Each structure stands twice: as C-alpha cells, then as structure tokens.
Chains A and B, each alone.
Chain A
Amino acid sequence: MRGALRRSAAVLFAAILAGCGNDPYPLEDSLEKILYQPFDDPPKTLDPQVAYSVVDHQVIGYVYDTLLGYHYLKRPFTLIPGMAETVPEAIGLSDGRVAYRFRLRPDLWFHEDPAFEKFSPGTRTRTVEASDVAFSLLRVADPAVVSPVIEALGKISGLVDFGKRLDERRRADPEFAALRIDEQYRRAGPVDGVRVLGPLELEIVLDDAYPQILYWFAMPFTSPVPWEAIAAYDGVDGRESFAEHPVGSGPFVLSRYDKRSRIVLERNDRWYGVLHPEWKAPAATYPSEGAPGDAEAGLLDPDYVGRPLPFLSRIEFRREKEPIPTFTKFLQGYYDASGVVKESFDRVIQKGELSPEMRGLGITLAKSVEPAISYLGFNMDDAIVGASGGERSEKLRQAMSLAIDSKEFLRLFANGRGLPAQTPIPPGIFGYDAGYQNPFRQPDLDLAKKLLAEAGWADGIDPTTGRPLRLTFDVGDTGAAAMLQFGFYTSRWRRIGLDVEIAATSYNQFQDKVRRGAYQIFTWGWVADYPDPENFLFLLWTPMSRTKSGGPNTANFSNPRYDALFEQMKAMTDTPERLAIIHEMRSILEQERPWIENFYPERYALYHGWVRNEKPAGLSIPTAKYLDIDAELRALRRAEWNVPITWPAWALAAILVVVIVPGVVTFLRERQ
C-alpha cells in the first residue's frame, strides 16, 4: 500500500515537472527544420481557382505549384520559369491575336492521394500534363466554381463562352449535369484559346495583346489540378470537399488541416526540385544573383547559392487569435517570424531601428514597402469637385491635395510605417520613380490657399452662400479609431478654409452610396494582384468607372488621352517607350488630381537569428521554400529564454502552509 502511494506521488511529480515548461511543441520536433507561423482567421477555401485572400494563399502557395514564379531576390519583380521550362514569349498570330506556348517539365508529379485510386485502381498519383493546366483554366470559366479571376482570364479566346455553354447545357440537361466533371468539360469544349498540343505542351491564345497574362500563371489560379480530385471530393453525401482537401504538385503536401488549431505542410519528396536537382530549375534552386544590397544583407550566402530547394522539412501554422500573446510567443522563440504589433511598437522599434533589447535577442528587422497604395479620391461626376466644374474644380482638387500631409498622417497613425505616395504606382513595380516629386503632393498650405483663391473660393468662402465651401467626405467606417483618421484629413482641409463634413455610415450603406454615385470625397486602397503598372493605372481607366460599370475606378475619372495611353501601355513590355507613356499618364494625373495619392504601406517583419535567407516580398507569394532554419540554435535559445520562474509557486506553497498548518493544529487540538 505504502509503495503504491509513493509510486503514484512520483508519477504526479513528474507530470507537474513536465508541465512546468511552456514549449507548445513536442520534444522530438525541436531539432527539425520546421518553420512555425501563426495564423489568425483560417483559410476560407483551399481551392486554387477560387482562393483570393492572403491567408488562403499562405497554404495554397506551397501545395499548388505554378507554371511561372517570381525571382526571390530581384526587384522590380521578375518572372522566372516554374513548372514550365521557360517563360514563353508572345507570338503574334495572323488574325491579330496573340499566343503563348508553355512547355511543361517532364516528370512532374501530383501529390499522392486516394482520389487517383478511385479512377485507376492501384495508382496513388500520376504525372502532371498540359491537359491538367487546360482543365484548371476551364475550371476558372466554370460558373459553378465561381472563380474571382474570370474577368482577367476571360481574355483567353472563347473561355467566357465556354462557361456560358457549360451553364446552359447543365440547366437544359440534368443527365449532362450528372456526368463526371472532365467529361462535362470535354463535351462543352473545345475552347479555341486553350490548346493542348502534346502531353507537355499547351498553347494559350488571347483575343488582344495582354502581356500581364503571364503574371496570372505565377498565381495559383492557373495551377494544374487533377480532375480525379475534383470528381472525388465533391462535398456531397459526406464526401470531403475539394476546397478542404487540396491535391496539388507543389513543394509541400498538406498533411494536417485543422482550421481551428493547426495546419501542417510536409516536404514533398516527389517535387521536381527534390527529384531532379541536376536540372537547376530556377524556381527550385537558390538564386545566385539578387537586387542591390542583397549580398550585403547576407542573402547571397555561398552556403546556399545554387542549392536545391526546399530547405525546410515542415511548415507548421498554429492558430492564434490575439496579437499580444502571439508576439510574446515570438519573443519566447516559438514563432520564427512576426510583424510588429502596434501595442509594443515603441518597445521594438526606436528611431526607425530595432531597439537594443531586440537586437540583444538576435532578432533582425526587414522593412519592405508593399506594392499597395492608400489614396483619397474625388468623385469626378460630382458638380463641385468633379470634372464638370472645369478648371475651377481642378484647382480645388489641387489645393486639397496640397493640404494633406501624408508624412504626418503616417507618423500619427502608422508609427511612421509607410512612404508618402507621389503617383499611383508603388515601389517595386515598373514605372515607379523614387526621384519623382509630385508638385501637388508636397504639403504647402499657402500655395493651396492661393489656388483656392484663383478658383474663386478665396479663403474657402463660397461666393454663392458667403460661407466656407461645404463638402462631404463619405466613409464606410464609424469606429472611433477610423474617425480619428478621417478627422485628420478634414482638419487639414479646414486649415485652408474648407468645411468638409464626415458622412460616416456602415460599410454597406457606404457601398450603396457609391453605387448611386452619391459621394464627393472618399478614401480607398488597392493591393497589387501582380507587379505591373497596368494593375494600378487601370484604377483610373474610363471603362472601369464605378458608377457606370461597377468597376474599381471609384473616382469615375475619365480622360480620353489617359485612356488612349493606357490602351497603348497595357499591351507593352517593360521598355523605355512604355516608361515614357507612363510618365505622360502620370503628368495627366498630376494635373487633374482625381486622387490624392496618400501613402504606400510599409511592412516591418521581425525574424529570429536562426532564420536564414529571409527577404519580405510584399506580394502574396510563397517564399518559405527559400528559408532555412538553424534548429540547434533555436533549441538553445528557446531553452535559454524560457527558464521557468518558480518562486511564485514556492511562495504560494509557503503561504498555503502558513494558513493551513494552524488550522490543522487547531482542529486536532479541539478533537482531543
């Protein structure tokens, strides 16, 4: 009896001791090359043809491989071949259309999956062929898939019509709708612009020149998916849904998908980079050249240059709902990288650099301006601020642009993270010019007042009412923090005599106002889909006008010269001629001021000293295959930084003893 008691006490004690550590991961993983990352909202879908949010792409980007990719180090972003052997050139066809011919690498394999077994027993995988890429493109057009990118990929000849045909046949014929998915596509086909020329050869034909199409082949929307997986995982009768069960061909395999707590990606040993290191495929080899400054930053370490990817054996995403505990876990060494939470900004960053405390921990800081822009816009259809007001309104817009001090805004609201914008094109994208200073984006209240006086609103007074000119700033956020930011803009305009009222409504009501065209001034942002100036300059192109066509040109800006230049520019490759056109478009915007370009957001990323080769991309592209982890160093640091503090426990125990012992003594005495 006594022995049993002692044994169970020992077990209990051991359990308590084991529980004392705060390591959330199993001991056997501590020396593995595993990248630990937190995630907040779980992915909405893992269907590559549908997923459009950053968190979705964080997982999909590794599971699905793309035909093309981006150079890891070079800026502006440069396309490199991925699953395709080369980046194809445009081929002009005799009928004026444009073709691109992709040649896939041989020996590309899908991830092993039971779905293959269902249709050809005994096989658990198969090779990737050109027909799989074609299948994915058809999926984008399939109305049942609801892909968000059909607008852009619809430039492929006949793709949109294919979608319509498919939809009609499904409606008309239930038997057709019940057919296997590849059979449905085959019968609704063929599509003129998607031609499978051989097992590894695919030709894409576009109605018009659209060189940006190639960027779409660096995104998961065009990643090959096996039809077997779509047919097997239809989400009906208790079967899994393809959106939750990806089957790709990327460098990592999804081995665990628990959206509420944990997502695990394991290295894919069948990936072409692992199978064929001798190919030195650009997207499967660590690059040997980079952007200026990369060598100094240690990104061209000879230990890595030319080595086959990936270096990691696993990527683990853990769910974290609160930013502060996430950051604490980063500081404890349980996450390898982190952003800077606003709350501890001053602790981490001092005078734009890492604080001595953080440097002491061996943490490094990587700053990167994102290919995105935040802007204030005018509704050009409006009678006062818009185009119909002629030169008068133009001067008003110029004056309002001069009043906004973006640097001050960033200092107050973003801890100085961001770059005051001069044009719609952010850094890292062709056409960005670091030396260019927009004359109407240099805060100058005196000049603003002068322009306002020239426009007939001297001191901001509207001669028709004898009062300050009253404008409305329409916003879709009523939260206190947002109101402070809007208040910043209106207080700046107030200083030149304009009485700008904030009309704050819920986001839905705001969108309704935008639909009706009932707005004057608004604020919005845009994040690049792909690194091409076209993706920013189209935001002011007449056919994209919000009120007329529901496009993203919320300013309803319309200028025939700008439109003509845009048409010309969008079909060009990055040549000096293209740059000249972009500069001319820039000067139109500079003068007309449909936007007040506010700022390009900047991301501060923190990495622990054991993470190697880190370079933030800004675009949502998979970069972890280039990263390496020094797991020994990490294990050492973790042990060092997480020594349990035990004295509070002892103190509590002592207090308990002090409280309980007299009680027990009294009790025993009374019983006697």
Chain B
Amino acid sequence: MEAHVVSNLIVAALVFGAAGLAVAIRRNRLWSEALRELARRRPIALAVVALFVVVALLESVRWRSEPEGPEAGDTVSRFEARSVVDRMFPHDFREKSYSAPLAEVEFYGGAPLAHPRSHLLGTDILGRDVLHQTLKGARVALLVGGLTSLIVIPLALFFGVTAGYFGRRIDDAFFLVSSTLMAIPGLLLLIAIIMALGRGPVQVCVALGITSWVGFARVARGESLKIRELDYVQAARALGVSEPRIIVRHVIPNLMHLVIITFVLLFSGLVLSEATLSWLGIGIDGSWGQMIDQARDELSRDPIVWWNLVAASSALFSLVLAVNLVGDAARDVLDPRTMKEHR
C-alpha cells in the first residue's frame, strides 16, 4: 500500500478514535467535568494545541490529482500525493533563493520575485516558502510526540504495573533494567539506537520511545504498589477475582489521570528532543528542528536572514508552551489531591 494511503487511514482511525473518545467522555461525568474545567482554565492554550492538531491532520490527508493548468509544476509533483496544506498554497510557489517576508525582490541580487509580496514568512535558501515549511513541520512534531507516546505509555504501563503489582523477582528485574537504562546518558543512547536502526521517522520515534519510558514506568510502579494494598483491591482478591482482571479493572483505571498528565508532559519533551537530534543531523526531514539547524549559518550572515529561524522556533515554542500549559492544568484538574480545592 502506498504511503499516503496509510497516512490517510491513520488519520481516519485517529478521527474515529477521537469521536469515540468524545462520546465516552460525554457519558462519564468525571472526565467531562474535567475537560470542561480544563477549557475554562486554559482556553487559549487548548485552542493553540487544537490548531496544531488540525494543521497536522490536514497535512496528513493526501491524495493525488492533476494540478490545474499546463504550467502547474513538474511531472514529478503530478504523481505525488499532495496534502490539504500543500493545496492551500499555489502550485510552484517558490523562488530562486532567499527572499524576506513580503518582499518584492530577491534577498541577494535584487531580482524580481515570481510571487512578489505573497511569501508571508519569506523563502529559504532553495526558495521554498517558509510558512509552508513551518505548517508542514507541525505534522512531524505531532508525529514524534504522538507516535512515541503510543510506544512509551503502553510499555511503561505494562512494566510499571506488573512490577508494582506483583513485586518480588519481577520488581527486581524491572529495577535492574530501568536502572541500567537510566545510567546510560540519554543522548548517547539515542544516537546509538538511531545509528543502528537507520534514519527515518519511525526509527527516531522508536529510539525516543526506548530512551524515555523508564520515568513513567517508575511512577506507575509506585502507584500500583499503593493501589494493590487498598481495601477494594484486597476485597476483590478475597472474592477470588483473577489477577489480570484486578489489574485491568481496578489498578489501571486508577492510573489514568497519571497517563494523561504524563502524555502531555512527555509530548513536549519529545518534540524538543527531536529538535536536538536534528541539530545533530539525525532528526526527521522537514521537522522544525531541521529548519532551525539549517538556519544556523543564516544567523551569522550579514545582513542577517532571520525568518527561517524565527518561524521554526516560534512554532516550536508555541506548541511546547501550549502543551505544557494544558498539561499543567490537566494535572491540577485530574489529580485527586488538587481536584477538590478548585471545585
């Protein structure tokens, strides 16, 4: 199956999943109230996150179609699936090289532009529109955050809960593995794994997943250790309920608020980690980190070329800040200890 079809299917699955989740939240009083409280506290941050998610989804929906007009680009792009974001810009929306935001002439040489006064954030060294690149970067950022979280959370939950709930040998083994991983410098391990797996979005996500599950797993372990001693768990055990059932019915649901909080905080950390990897030349193509890395030399140009760096880093900054603010609020809202005081 072709890549863009897979991407579309994933988007469809995500949208359906989100719809299903929305219905489930609506039915559950606790969660719907929490969500409402969150929206009341951090409306702007939530809106920003939602905007990025929408852009990323629009960038992920792709299909192939003949562009209109004979001058519409080259043969290769006729055969390429273009996303909704691509279609928001005119075909062949590029210049020869740098041009400043909304400029009429090229940055060097001063030749007239093909699309004067229309590049909101200017163009990069290869003449590509920076706004377009920045919007495309949202997909990579969310992919890194989302896919890695999908690897990290089940992994951490599985190991953390089994270690915490069963204790003894399993716990010892868990500690051995997690301490070993913790002892290896994160960045070094990341580079080693990417070198072994090769470059690519999935590989980077797997590498980030391997290096970042330990923290949450330890939290999950501690929490399960506590929960297994609680009266209702003891009662369930006394009534002969099987262990897996206890874990699924009584332990994991009580960790869900932790999962949400971890997910949100982990997310912004991962987006930043990808930027670090891009800086080292092993990130994902088209990410904001890569844009920042490419802009490295531009800052020391005289006169300075600032729009690439500013565009990519403000996008990175606003996403990370918004996610962190939402995460913070989510912790306040969902944590049983702080939940009550705010009501």
Residues of A whose CB lies within 8 Å of any CB of B are 324, 342-347, 408, 411-413, 459-461, 467-468, 478-481, 483-484, 487-488, 491, 494-499, 504-506
> Which residues of chain B are near A480, meaning CB under 8 Å?
278, 281, 290, 293-294, 296
State A412–B128 Cα separation when bound (angstroms): 13
B199/A478 in contact, CB under 8 A: yes
State A19–B108 Cα separation when bound (angstroms): 43
Q: A412-B125, A484-B125, A484-B294 are known; give 17 further A-B pairs, CB within 8 A.
A: A343-B300, A343-B301, A345-B302, A411-B108, A411-B109, A413-B125, A459-B75, A461-B75, A468-B75, A468-B79, A480-B294, A481-B294, A483-B294, A487-B126, A494-B77, A497-B75, A497-B76
Q: Nearest A residue to B198 by beta-carbon distance?
A: A505
Q: Nearest B residue to A416 by beta-carbon distance?
A: B108
B302/A343 in contact, CB under 8 A: yes
Closest 6 CB pairs of A and B: A497-B75, A343-B300, A480-B293, A479-B281, A480-B294, A459-B75
Q: Nearest B residue to A457 by beta-carbon distance?
A: B75
> Which residues of chain B are near A494, meaning CB under 8 Å?
74, 76-77
> Which residues of chain B are near A344, meaning CB under 8 Å?
300, 302
Interface residue B96 (Cβ < 8 Å from any Cβ of A): yes
B126/A408 in contact, CB under 8 A: no
Q: Nearest B residue to A342 by beta-carbon distance?
A: B297
> Which residues of chain B are near A411, meaning CB under 8 Å?
97, 108-109
State A468–B290 Cα separation when bound (angstroms): 28
State A283–B301 Cα separation when bound (angstroms): 42
Q: Nearest A residue to B293 by beta-carbon distance?
A: A480
> Which residues of chain A are near B126, meaning CB under 8 Å?
412, 484, 487-488, 491
> Which residues of chain A are near B278, meaning CB under 8 Å?
480
> Which residues of chain B are near A491, meaning CB under 8 Å?
126
Interface residue B195 (Cβ < 8 Å from any Cβ of A): yes
**Distance (whole angstroms) from the CB of B309 to the closest CB of chain A:** 12
Q: Which of B96, B198, B285 makes the CB contact (< 8 A) with A408?
A: B96
A346/B303 in contact, CB under 8 A: yes
A506/B195 in contact, CB under 8 A: yes
State A518–B293 Cα separation when bound (angstroms): 30
Q: Return 19 A-B CB contacts under 8 Å, by A number.
A: A342-B297, A343-B301, A346-B302, A346-B303, A411-B97, A412-B126, A467-B79, A468-B75, A478-B199, A480-B290, A480-B293, A480-B296, A483-B285, A483-B290, A491-B126, A494-B77, A495-B74, A504-B199, A505-B198
Contact indicator per residue, chain B 68-98, by CB within 8 Å of chain A (1) or not (0): 0000001111010000000000000000110
**Distance (whole angstroms) from the CB of B11 to the closest CB of chain A:** 24
Interface residue B61 (Cβ < 8 Å from any Cβ of A): no
Query: What is the interface size of chain B, counting residues whose CB is below 8 A from a CB of the partner?
Result: 27
Known: A488-B126, A504-B199. A497 touches B74 (CB 8 A): yes
The number of residue pairs between A and B whose CB atoms lie closer than 8 Å in the complex comes to 70
Interface residue B204 (Cβ < 8 Å from any Cβ of A): no
Q: Nearest B residue to A415 by beta-carbon distance?
A: B108
> Which residues of chain B are near A478, meaning CB under 8 Å?
199, 281-282
State A480–B126 Cα separation when bound (angstroms): 13
Contact indicator per residue, chain B 197-235, by CB within 8 Å of chain A (1) or not (0): 011000000000000000000000000000000000000
B75/A460 in contact, CB under 8 A: yes
> Which residues of chain B are near A413, meaning CB under 8 Å?
125
Q: Nearest B residue to A477 by beta-carbon distance?
A: B281
Contact indicator per residue, chain B 302-316, by CB within 8 Å of chain A (1) or not (0): 110000000000000
**Distance (whole angstroms) from the CB of A319 to the closest CB of chain B:** 22
Main secondary structure of the interface of A (DSSP, over half): helix
> Which residues of chain A are near B76, meaning CB under 8 Å?
460, 468, 494, 497-499
> Which residues of chain A are near B297, meaning CB under 8 Å?
342-343, 481
State A481–B280 Cα separation when bound (angstroms): 11
> Which residues of chain B are near A481, meaning CB under 8 Å?
294, 296-297
**Distance (whole angstroms) from the CB of B72 to the closest CB of chain A:** 13
**Distance (whole angstroms) from the CB of B66 to the closest CB of chain A:** 13
Q: Nearest B residue to A488 by beta-carbon distance?
A: B126
> Which residues of chain A are near B294, meaning CB under 8 Å?
480-481, 483-484
State A31–B278 Cα separation when bound (angstroms): 50
State A635–B17 Cα separation when bound (angstroms): 76
Contact indicator per residue, chain B 246-288, by CB within 8 Å of chain A (1) or not (0): 0000000000000000000000000000000010011001000
Within B86-137, the residues touching A (CB, 8 Å) are: 96-97, 108-109, 125-126
State A498–B79 Cα separation when bound (angstroms): 11
State A467–B75 Cα separation when bound (angstroms): 9
Q: Which of A347, A467, A504 makes the CB contact (< 8 A) with B302?
A: A347
State A506–B97 Cα separation when bound (angstroms): 28
> Which residues of chain A are near B79, meaning CB under 8 Å?
467-468, 499
> Which residues of chain A are near B285, meaning CB under 8 Å?
483
State A478–B76 Cα separation when bound (angstroms): 24
> Which residues of chain A are near B96, meaning CB under 8 Å?
408
> Which residues of chain A are near B302, meaning CB under 8 Å?
343-347
**Distance (whole angstroms) from the CB of A99 to the closest CB of chain B:** 53
> Which residues of chain B are near A324, meaning CB under 8 Å?
300
**Distance (whole angstroms) from the CB of A502 to the closest CB of chain B:** 9
State A460–B77 Cα separation when bound (angstroms): 11
> Which residues of chain B are near A468, meaning CB under 8 Å?
75-76, 79
**Distance (whole angstroms) from the CB of B294 to the closest CB of chain A:** 4
State A345–B297 Cα separation when bound (angstroms): 12
State A484–B199 Cα separation when bound (angstroms): 17
Q: Nearest A residue to B300 by beta-carbon distance?
A: A343
**Distance (whole angstroms) from the CB of A474 to the closest CB of chain B:** 14
> Which residues of chain B are near A467, meaning CB under 8 Å?
79
State A480–B293 Cα separation when bound (angstroms): 6
Which of A342, A411, A412, A480 has the most chain B CB within a 10 Å cutoff? A480
> Which residues of chain A are near B300, meaning CB under 8 Å?
324, 342-344
State A487–B285 Cα separation when bound (angstroms): 12
State A550–B318 Cα separation when bound (angstroms): 52
State A487–B125 Cα separation when bound (angstroms): 10
State A59–B76 Cα separation when bound (angstroms): 52
State A344–B301 Cα separation when bound (angstroms): 7
State A505–B126 Cα separation when bound (angstroms): 22
State A342–B297 Cα separation when bound (angstroms): 9
Q: Nearest B residue to A480 by beta-carbon distance?
A: B293
**Distance (whole angstroms) from the CB of B172 to the closest CB of chain A:** 38
> Which residues of chain A are near B77, meaning CB under 8 Å?
494
> Which residues of chain B are near A505, meaning CB under 8 Å?
198-199
> Which residues of chain A are near B303, meaning CB under 8 Å?
346
State A496–B293 Cα separation when bound (angstroms): 30
> Which residues of chain B are near A460, meaning CB under 8 Å?
74-76
> Which residues of chain A are near B198, meaning CB under 8 Å?
505
State A76–B274 Cα separation when bound (angstroms): 51
Q: Nearest B residue to A323 by beta-carbon distance?
A: B300
**Distance (whole angstroms) from the CB of A466 to the closest CB of chain B:** 9
**Distance (whole angstroms) from the CB of B111 to the closest CB of chain A:** 11
Contact indicator per residue, chain B 176-203, by CB within 8 Å of chain A (1) or not (0): 0000000000000000000100110000
> Which residues of chain A are near B108, meaning CB under 8 Å?
411
**Distance (whole angstroms) from the CB of A140 to the closest CB of chain B:** 38
> Which residues of chain A are near B74, meaning CB under 8 Å?
460, 494-497
State A343–B299 Cα separation when bound (angstroms): 8
**Distance (whole angstroms) from the CB of B30 to the closest CB of chain A:** 46
**Distance (whole angstroms) from the CB of A97 to the closest CB of chain B:** 51
> Which residues of chain B are near A347, meaning CB under 8 Å?
302
State A484–B124 Cα separation when bound (angstroms): 10
Which of B108, B278, B281, B293 has the most chain A CB within a 10 Å cutoff? B281
**Distance (whole angstroms) from the CB of B261 to the closest CB of chain A:** 34
> Which residues of chain B are near A484, meaning CB under 8 Å?
125-126, 294
> Which residues of chain B are near A488, meaning CB under 8 Å?
126
Q: Nearest A residue to B195 by beta-carbon distance?
A: A506
> Which residues of chain B are near A343, meaning CB under 8 Å?
297, 300-302
